[in-house]
Structure 1
């Protein structure tokens, strides 16, 4: 079995697409110098993220690009021998999606449109309707976008579809209602870490998590990019400043060891996991 180096980026991306592409190029070169085979860039790496989640201003939205547009083609060319995952605002059929794409060797390996949306985001983006893994040169991989990892079913669906690595691209901000003075102590920063480790451990997969840093409008982003092993252990991480979290992992070997005695996917009881008879929402919807 062969170990590979996995890199997750914490970095700030704003509205300027040319600057975004320059920064993506710099991070790809940094990952290449580290000997990485996979680089996971943040959500909104092309054009940034929303500036306000409660009442987004339609005049200040991130620029939207086509899934087969020039910007995606430029990043695919930059990727070269790396597998590169990143998030962006996709424009198709007159609608916007909070999307992610996986690139390698000048082409596209996989695409994903964010399925789960917080309320403010749903005012801007259409929701995706598919969770599926795909094959890459470093093994079968799945994509998620930030809030998706709040839902165990999303990561579980990818693991059941054979994903050995999940790349979760994020533009995850600090709390909107009670932001801590230190971002590392913020409630949302704590949940971000908790979900990263839990999703890796419960599915016994390798989890590579990126995030934005800095501020956009009223949102402050806390970084905390990381690589998590199949036992839920953090193998490498950044903090609130930009940088790369890089870990060398024998993906298949670590997953096989984690599943040697307790194999969670095989020990499930799906016949007992039916739909609830009543809604769990307090408003009954």
Structure 2
């Protein structure tokens, strides 16, 4: 089995109030890292920053979980990692098309709300420029068996800018373990399963927590259910927090530059 000391969990946090409640249920005995996303950092920018801050830190396996991910059986992540180790998977997660009713995009990549990366393998081949140049897809490029996917999807979708990261890994012949998932009764939250056993719930709308009554009540209802699960009582150790203090300004300048270039092209 993989030593917990070689595993870490990273969350890009836009809502620290929700993180303070959800992170209590994270897998035990592993390091916690946070990227402060309150300045608008998320998606591909978060992945690039993650590699910049964590490369060379000795992490073998990295769990990525949003602050609205609520683990119901947190120990199962270790079983997933063991299967990934044995079968040489580099990534696991839920397809971003055809599995969840509101995610109708590309089924060849995952949604970043939850994933596990073989970080030690990725950092050996990491090249940010290469990654960013992989935001494209050819018809029939990937040969996944999609016959059992019941929902809608688009195999040519480039909906999320972070797809380039997973396309890059696939083009490097890295394997993805796709997990089972299903919708909850509220028609917004979803479960994720491993070997048909639910181990987490993703509530979505983290930014709306304590700001929107509907989503706050919905998420709190799930949190109340977790509090009744004695298996999950754990001390909430403080994470190491990373923040790019110039990200918002840099993003603003780039947007202005793009607008100016588009204006001159006209």
Q: Which one scores higher on RCO, CA 8 angstroms, separation ≥ 6?
A: 2
Pairwise TM-score range, normalised by the shorter structure: 0.3 to 0.5
**TM-score for the superposition, normalised by structure 1:** 0.31
Structure showing the higher helix proportion among its residues: 2
Structure showing the higher strand proportion among its residues: 1
**TM-score for the superposition, normalised by structure 2:** 0.32
